[in-house]
Amino acid sequence: MRIGLEMNGVVVIDKRPGMTSHDVVLEVRKVAGVKKAGHTGTLDPLATGVLPVCIGEATKLVPFLVSVTKDYLVSMLLGVRTDTLDIEGEVLEEKEPQVTDQSVENALQGFLGRSEQIPPRYSAVKVQGRALYKWARKGIVVDPPPRMVEISHLTVEEISLPYVTFRMSCSGGTYVRSLCADVGDLLGCGACVAGLRRTRSGIFSEAAAIVMDQKDRQGNDDRVRASLIPLAELLPDMRTIVPEDPWVKRIKDGVHPRAEMVNRRDDIPFLDSGDMVKLTGSRGELVAIAELLYGSRELAGLQNDVPVMRLLRVFNEN
């Protein structure tokens, strides 16, 4: 049985190797019977693991779910440089790695913290309005600007040369392929990604991920239905404000919240101008995401008709 168009939420897919992230989204759309779906961060075809897919009204949350911390299990191959920075690319150079376990460990640990990273030539990063991989496929060399990334945790699990297995946590937008290439350059032998699995993306872990079976359409339908994470459970760290019911309707009609909505309440947490909050209905349903125009201390002194929030997203679940 197909899931109806009222389906809204996030399903965490355990991506199979060989598929693009776009392939996964198309598969979810087909199974769920919906027109709107989108992922929250590209996984390379080589990679497996956690790929959150937003469905229906949840697609409005994609910008809020992309730049989250991500965890990976990485297999790095030393001594091989490729054009794509992974083993699926064209080999540019092979060299016997003259390294010790300690030198490998030191090289990896040297990338902890914040640093500038250059995205791979074969990536979805856009330069001059076109994805880098499209330039690369045309044989046009484009030097992408470096971006600031952060690796907050890195643990080496096994060194069995020429392969090195490690786990890492990093900011959204970090390219593991670039990291491995940079480590290989530092060691003087080159390196590329041999295997990659995303184990977590923000609040979404591999424990919640489901595997889509190409031969079991009904089973896929049931799995998506059972594992769907509703809108109300997303963005759990964002502060929540519960307007009275008359305001819920006005917000859904696009009216920016005014001081009267919060002046009658004594439970507004300490917040600053520019902070984002979730507005939910009395049943816990997600109504909107808004940006505060005033801090909590300023709200009480405002006239009732002064707009105090700017609506960023409004949700209309069936």
Q: How far is CA 66 from CA 100, 148, 197, in A?
A: 37, 15, 17
Q: Within 10 Å of residue 304's Cβ, how many Cβ atoms?
A: 11
pLDDT for 128 equals 66
Picking from 291, 268, 267, 269, the residue whose alpha carbon sits closest to that of residue 278 is 291
pLDDT for 131 equals 66
**Which residues have C-beta within 8 Å of that of residue 130, sequence separation ≥ 6?**
none
Active-site residue list: 44
pLDDT for 123 equals 65
Sign of the C-alpha dihedral computed for residues 83, 84, 85 and 91 taken in this order: negative
| Residue 150 backbone dihedrals phi, psi, to 5 degrees | -140, 130
pLDDT for 110 equals 96
Burial label for 204, CB within 10 Å (0-12, 13-18, 19+), is: buried
Structural domains in the chain, sorted by start: 9-67+203-231 (3.30.2350.10), 74-189 (3.30.2350.10), 239-314 (2.30.130.10)
pLDDT for 5 equals 45
Taking only the tens of pLDDT, the chain with its 318 residues reads 344 446 899 999 999 999 999 999 999 998 888 889 999 988 999 999 999 999 999 999 999 998 889 999 999 999 999 999 999 999 999 999 999 999 999 999 999 999 999 887 766 667 666 666 676 677 667 777 888 999 999 999 999 999 999 999 999 889 999 999 999 999 999 999 999 999 999 999 999 999 887 666 666 777 888 889 999 999 999 999 999 889 999 999 999 999 988 865 555 668 889 999 999 998 989 999 999 999 888 887 888 899 999 999 999 876
pLDDT for 165 equals 98
pLDDT for 178 equals 95
Rounded to two decimals, what is the model's pTM? 0.88
Q: What is the rounded CA–CA span in Å between residue 219 and residue 221?
A: 5
pLDDT for 224 equals 86
Q: How far is CA 82 from CA 85, 255, 274, 293, in A?
A: 5, 53, 44, 49
pLDDT for 274 equals 93
